[in-house]
Chain A
Amino acid sequence: SAVISQKPSRDICQRGTSLTIQCQVDSQVTMMFWYRQQPGQSLTLIATANQGSEATYESGFVIDKFPISRPNLTFSTLTVSNMSPEDSSIYLCSSGRTDANYGYTFGSGTRLTVV
C-alpha cells in the first residue's frame, strides 16, 4: 500500500487566516480523500479529489472554505480558509486506487488550533 507524507503535523493559527495542508504519496493513486476529525470524534469526509477534475465536496463543506488542489497523481493540498476557532480539528488525507479493496492509507494528520 501507499505511504503518505502529510505536513504540517500541527499548527496554531490566528483567526481569519488560511492554512494549506499538503499530502505527498509515494506512488500514483487515483483518489485522494480529505477528512476532518474534531476532538474525540470520528472522521468526517470533507471531499474527494481526483486528478484532472474538480474535487467533490460532501454536504456541509464548500469549496470556498476548503479549496483543494490535485495537480498530479501523487500530491494534493487542502486549504482551510478564513479560519475560526470552530475549525480547530485534526485534518487527515487518505489515498486509494479504484481497486482498493485492501483499504486506504492515511497520512499522519495535521492538528490545527485556531486562536
Chain B
Amino acid sequence: AQTVTQSQPEMSVQEAETVTLSCTYDTSESNYYLFWYKQPPSRQMILVIRQEAYKQQNATENRFSVNFQKAAKSFSLKISDSQLGDTAMYFCAFMKPTGTASKLTFGTGTRLQVTL
C-alpha cells in the first residue's frame, strides 16, 4: 500500500516571502500521479497542482511549483510571493491509476499561516 508523509504539521511565512512544504511517499509503482490540495477554513478542497510521475519536468501553476524527485520519492510544494489567502491546510496526495477505482491517498497535512 502507498503511504504519504508530510513531516511539517505547521509552517509560517510572511507575506510576499517564499515557503516550501515537504512531502514524501512510498510506492513500488512506476506510473502514478501526485497532487497538492489546499483546504482553507471554508473546508473546500482545492486542487493546487498535479504532477505525472512519467514527466521529468516539474509542474508549475502561477506562484505554485513543485520539486519532484522521483528517485527520492519526494514531492515538495513551493509557494512564491505568499499571500494572506494562501493560509490553509495543504495536503499532499498520491494516486495510482487503476482504471475503475483510482483512489487518492492523503498525507496528514501541513497547516500554513501567512502573516503580515
Contact = CB atoms under 8 A, between A and B. Distances in A.
Given A106-B45, A108-B43, A109-B44, A41 B108 contact: yes
A43 B106 contact: yes
Contacts of A104: 47, 104
Interface residues on A, range: 20 to 34
A48 B103 contact: yes
Interface in B78-106: 91, 93, 95, 97, 99-104, 106
Contacts of A109: 43-45
Contacts of B47: 1, 102-105
A43 B100 contact: no
Which of the listed residues B43, B50, B100 has the most CB atoms from chain A within 10 Å of its own CB?
B43
Interface of B: 33, 35, 37, 42-47, 50, 52, 91, 93, 95, 97, 99-104, 106-109
